[in-house]
Structure 1
C-alpha cells in the first residue's frame, strides 16, 4: 500500500470510530464510556475476574482498569470480592444493576450498529468483520 493511502485509511477509520463514540455518548446517557461497558460485558461473559486478567484481555493498562473499576463499584454496577483462600487476591464481579445496564447498552448498541452498518450489504459486513478480526489477531501476536 502506498504511504499516502495508508494515512487516508487510518484517517477514515478514525472518522468512523469518532462518529460511533459521539453517537454512543449521545444515545447512552449514563455518564459511562465504552470502556466501562466493555469491562461489565467481560464480567457478564466470564464471571468474577481478577482485574489484571480483565486488563490483559481488553488490552488496557492496570491503572486504567483500576480507574474504570472504581467508577463501576461506586455506581454499584460491580463489586469487589476477596478470594476465599487468599484474601490478598481481589476479584471484580458484576451486580444485577450492572447486568441490567449491559442489557440496555447492548440494545442501544444494536440501534447504533443498525444505523451505520445497514448501509453495507451482508457480504460487506462480513468482509469488514473478517478484516478487523485479522488486524486484531495480528496486533495481539
Structure 2
C-alpha cells in the first residue's frame, strides 16, 4: 500500500471523527464539549480522582482539566474536595446529575453513529466490521 493511500485513509478517518464531533456538539445542546464529557466519564468509571490523574488518563494537561472542572462544578455535574490525607491535593468527583449527563451524551453519540452507519449498505457495514475487527487484533 502506498504512503498516499495510507495518508488518504487517515485523513478520511479524521474527517469522519471531526464531523461526528461537530454533529454531536450541535445536537447535544448542553454548553459542554466532548472534553467535559470525557472528564465526567472518567469520574464515573474511576470514581474520585485528582486533576493530574484525570489528565494522564484522558490525554489532556492538568491546567486544562482544572479549566474544564470549573464549568463542571458550576453546572453541578462535579464537585471539588480536598484529599483527607493531604489537604493541598484537590479531588474531583461526579454528581448524580453528572452521571445522567454522561448517559445522555453517550446515548446521543450512539444515535449519531447509528445514523452514520445507516448510510452504508448491509454489505458495506459487514466489510467495515471485518476491517475494524482486523484492526482491533
Q: If the TM-score is normalised by the length of the shorter chain, which range does it land in?
A: 0.7 to 0.9
The root-mean-square deviation of aligned C-alpha atoms, in Å, is: 1.9
Structure 1 stretches of 4+ with a deviation exceeding 6 A read none
Structure 2 CA distance for partners of 1:112 and 1:63, relative to 1, 3 Å: same
Structure 2 CA distance for partners of 1:93 and 1:126, relative to 1, 3 Å: farther
Q: Does 1:124 align with 2:111?
A: no
Q: Does 1:94 align with 2:94?
A: yes
Q: Secondary structure at the match of 2:79?
A: strand
Rg: which structure is higher? Answer: 2
CA apart distance, 1:122: 5.2
- TM (norm. structure 2) is 0.86
Aligned equivalent of 1:6: 6
Query: Partners of 2:74 and 2:34 in 1: how far apart?
Result: 17
CA apart distance, 1:130: 5.6
Stretches of structure 1 that go unaligned for 5 or more consecutive residues are 135-141
Structure 2 CA distance for partners of 1:64 and 1:113, relative to 1, 3 Å: same
Structure 2 CA distance for partners of 1:43 and 1:122, relative to 1, 3 Å: farther
Number of equivalent positions: 133
Structure 2 CA distance for partners of 1:126 and 1:63, relative to 1, 3 Å: farther
Stretches of structure 2 that go unaligned for 5 or more consecutive residues are none
- TM (norm. structure 1) is 0.84
